[in-house]
Amino acid sequence: MPLPPLMLTVVDHPLLRRDLTILRDRTTPHGQFRRTVNDAAAILAYEALRDLPLVERSIETPLEETTGYYFQDEFVVVPVLRAGLGLVDGFVRFVPEARVGHVGMERDEATHEPRDYYAKIPPLDERTIVFVVDPMLATGGSADAAISFLKERGATRLRFVCLVAAPEGVRHLEARHPEIDIFAATLDRELDQNAYIRPGLGDAGDRIFGT
């Protein structure tokens, strides 16, 4: 039976394609890699924030009264440690008022199962939109675990933002959290036998931090 179409937004912008090329290139040094991850995160944020509701409030310009627009909701950005940290500065460029929580997940190299090792998050309720950010959505295990953790702590409105998604990871998230919107810079071909995304960009955390 054919699989249903994937429910994710692949953000298409020439700047993002150029940035992704820099990130895929194995010769890119980690300083440039880190800066480029942040630039790409800002473009992804631009799209992930596009449909959010605004409320109107009257304001005074230096000359007269007019209508101002404000976001209705509170924003929390949650990077999945460690590699997700690389996306935070770029993501909050447009929403500096966002709070930042942290969830630590590490994939076991043999089983590819996520293990959580750290969490610190602000209070979450139905007025909060939580943007979970991680450069890679591979098997989907880490994203699934982070999202489940946040739901248990009160998050009801979540979006997942990544640079590179694998079809396997998208299917995993759709099966486990079908209400969540996923934003990615690219949907790559497949996972290899080590659960690395192909063509991908390698180990995102190691490349961001130069380890």
Residue ranges that bind ligand PRP, judged by CB under 6 A: 80, 82-83, 105-107, 112, 114, 134-143, 169, 195, 204-205
Kindly report the backbone phi and psi dihedral angles of residue 92, in degrees, each rounded to the nearest multiple of 5, phi listed first: -85, 5
Q: How far is the CB of 72 from ligand PRP (least distance, A)?
A: 30
Respond yes or no on whether the N-terminal peptide bond of residue 199 is cis (omega within 30° of 0).
yes
12 tagged catalytic: no
Contacts (Cβ under 8 Å, ≥6 apart) of 5:
none
Question: In whole angstroms, how far apart are CA 69 and each of 58, 114, 174?
Answer: 9, 41, 33
Instruction: Using the minimum distance from each CB to ligand PRP, give the nearer residue, 43 or 197.
Output: 197
203 tagged catalytic: yes
> Which residue of 136, 145, 161, 163 would you call a contact of ligand URA, by CB under 6 A?
136
- Please give the helix or strand (H or E) that residue 160 lies within, else none: strand 157-165
Contacts (Cβ under 8 Å, ≥6 apart) of 8:
165, 170, 181, 182, 183, 184, 187
Catalytic residue among 34, 107, 157, 176: 107
211 tagged catalytic: no
> Which residue of 85, 105, 124, 197 would you call a contact of ligand URA, by CB under 6 A?
197
Q: How far is the CB of 70 from ligand PRP (least distance, A)?
A: 33
Structural contact between residues 194 and 18, judged by C-beta atoms closer than 8 angstroms:
no
Q: How far is the CB of 196 from ligand URA (least distance, A)?
A: 4
Tell me which residues in 79-98 interact with ligand URA (CB under 6 A): 83
Instruction: Please classify residue 125 by burial: count the beta carbons closer than 10 Å to its beta carbon, then call 0-12 exposed, 13-18 middle and 19+ buried.
Output: exposed
Instruction: Using the minimum distance from each CB to ligand URA, give the nearer residue, 122 or 202.
Output: 202
35 tagged catalytic: no
Catalytic residues: 107, 111, 203, 206
The residues of the shown chain that bind ligand URA, judged by CB under 6 A, are 83, 136, 138, 196-197, 200, 203-205
